[in-house]
Amino acid sequence: MKKIRIKKTLVFLVLCMVLVGFIGFVEKQTLYKTFQGTEINIDGVSGVYFVEEKEIQEIMRSAFPELKAGLMLEEVRLEEVEKRLAGHPFIKSMEASIGQKGILNLKIQQHQPIARIARSYAADGYITVEGKVIPTSPSYTSRVLILQGKQAEQLMDKGDVMEQMPELMDLINFIVEDDFWSAQIPELEVNSKTDIRLMQQVGKQVIEFGDAKDIAEKFKKIEVFYKEILPRKGWNAYERVSVKFKDQIVCE
């Protein structure tokens, strides 16, 4: 009889363990089928974040109030989430996916500013590496090449430099990708497509560049001005330097 009681007890314990395991398994499967929270991963640009996690959380709460723990995963509208966040001016691209534990993962890539259009009587704007014009951020300021002038303001209104004036992007890239020129040329005055002027960090001369063509050739002429003319005449000998004419350097 004692052996029978022990056997019954062991069977009961095994059944209890199986039952507990089954309940845990069911709960785990249910957990994985429901929304459990959001994880936001923002790719910074040189350590700068124009889009903050707090802002994304606020957008999600406002646009998707139903996203609460326990919501079935099939009810999470991933395409709607991507569409809503992709409309943010500082977001270049984003991907929404559901992780194994019911976590909504948001992977966000920011736009990268390469230049800034400065305006006296209106808001400034950044030019991205793709040539898109986006608003400036109230949180951060990126130290980039400055563009001013009538044509620059028109580009701001059009919203796409690559579409309107692709040669200007070539000039911007040439300057920012060169360590010396990016330090020496902090600003461009873009009055028209054929009237671009370079402002120098050292030297009071305004360099008349003309149009944004024959860029490498024109910068070679500026190098000649720096290496051969200025050492003999001095940095303040001229107020105007023009390299817009072919095979000529005009100094006045």
- The CATH H-level superfamily of 37-110 is membrane protein fhac (3.10.20.310)
Q: For residues 80 and 197, give the distance between their C-alpha atoms in angstroms, rounded to a whole number.
A: 45
User: 170 Cβ partners below 8 Å, 6+ apart?
Assistant: 212, 215
CATH T-level topology, domain 113-251: Rossmann fold (3.40.50)
17, 38, 124 from 91: Cα distances, Å? 51, 18, 18
The predicted structure's pLDDT at residue 24: 43
Please name the residue that has the structure tokens 């009889």: 1
pLDDT by residue for the chain (252 residues), tens only, comes to 555 555 555 544 545 454 444 444 444 444 468 888 889 998 877 667 788 888 889 998 998 898 888 888 888 888 998 999 998 888 899 998 888 788 889 999 988 888 999 888 888 889 988 999 988 877 677 788 999 999 999 988 888 898 999 999 999 999 999 999 999 999 999 999 999 999 988 777 888 999 999 999 999 988 888 888 877 776 777 778 888 888 787 877
User: Would you list the domain boundaries of the chain?
Assistant: 1-32, 37-110, 113-251
